[in-house]
Structure 1
Amino acid sequence: MAKENKAPKVLRYRLSLVDDYTHRHIWQVHFRRGGLFIAAISSVVVLIVGAFALVSLTPLKTFIPGYPDATSRMEAQQNAMTLDSLKNVVYRWEFYSQNLRKVVEGADPVVIDSLIRARKTEILSAEEAGELHVKDSILRANVMEAEEFGLGSSSRKLPIEGMHFFPPLKGVVSQGYEDVIHPYVDITAPANSVVMATLDGTVVSAGWSDDTGWSIAIQHDNDIISIYRHNERLMVSTGAKVSAGTPIAIVGSTGRLSTGEHLHFELWYKGEAVNPAKYINF
């Protein structure tokens, strides 16, 4: 019985671009099945990475459903301010109802001036002043003794968890910290709000960038750096010494990457970005 002729095994393929009239080969490429599979997988990966970068690094992310845009951030800020006003209104109504109850019961109402006077510091007696003087002397002696043995020297370094950070801006965190995509926080606040230094330090950079607008970088002790971007105006220059809470800029919306009036705040510790919300109550 004659053996059946098997079709030859195809190992290579060719993709050609041919002129329909002259049959001239304009372009052609040779490939194998494995190469075609690898090229297809690589194209899909490049397409996914490109789409992710296009969405995450451009204003297109504002079109994603649920992503907070400039309007929603402003509304959140206004809601926070409205909530604070409502708290004051509720407090006044409680004060009014308490006074009304006292009047109905025949008691004397509380006068608001008396509350203000009650908060003023009372004059201490000679005996109380003497006790305070003794306590102050003991405290000063303890501090001098600690400094004598180097316990209170400025060379002592505290971990970042033990440091007290001054809030750079009182506002609403419109976008929180993310390790890879968003290693900083965005804080919205009313126009002309003052941006302040979060720790004592030295201004190592203060100037303009097309992407981030007017920006400031401050070097602090313990290998800590704080960065403030998208400011409307700077109030310090490079080389200036600042203290915690010192006004350094006015909040704004400068730079190509800004989508609204806010402060872009970064905190770096030993060369790595850290989440400022862990150490600062905005």
Structure 2
Amino acid sequence: MAKKVRKRGEIKRKLLHKYRLVILNESTFEEKISFKLSRLNVFVTGSLCIIGLIGLTTLLIAFTPLREYIPGYSSTKLKKQATELTYKTDSLVRTLNYTNRYLDNVRMVLRGDIENNEINRDSLFERFKLDPSTVDLTPIKEDSLLRAEVALEDKYNLFERNVNSTILVFFPPLSGTISQAYDAEKKHYAVDVVAPRETPIKAVADGTVIFAEWTADTGHVIIIEHKDGLLSVYKHNGSLNKSQGDIVTSGEVIASVGNTGELTTGPHLHFELWNNGTPVNPTDYIDFK
């Protein structure tokens, strides 16, 4: 027991034993600075310095941009930028897919092809068509009263207009003789209108020019996009008056009659009309005489 007490006292004495740290001038041995230290003071001071350095380093990493240089650590700003870039990339992919489909439709119009996988609209209508025999069509009293009230109001309505706003009125692109009519069986999805060279060709309706270039087969070609998914195509032109992206109005001159391209036999206009990717007979909507 006495040995343990003696040992503890010796340890305590060594920890508290004073030492003198002196800084001397090497040439004159003049004392410049001196410190009184003990082992305990050195241990406590060193521990506090280490703890301070750790705390300062932690603060620098947590509240300064230095944390971004630590491998595996990502800041909130970087996460936000990554999320925004992900959304932008997704939007760009969707836009690119839409643009590719749009360009495929334009190429299809230029080649005069029809999509093989067409949806049979008649079969869709047949599928969802209701059987009238299963529906009770007997008018109720409230319905009869409402019909009578509406009929009375319409009788004295001076501003009533019976106009179907969904019907487009097309302006004739050219007046002339049709040398070859529309024939879907022979894959001639257009009408060929013969006219003298340099005769002005006009836009059939308001729209935007989406293609105005030269092609080897059909010469100078211009395609105009109208509302409701309609496209008008003008081929074998002698010259073009409009460029891609131009906005045109109905009846505005867009080109002139010519004989350009390999697939032509004389000055004429090869005119096509497409509705949502399907060619339609232009003579059903336009009088070329």
* Rg comparison, structure with higher value: 2
TM-score class normalised by the smaller sequence: 0.3 to 0.5
TM-score, normalising length: structure 1: 0.44
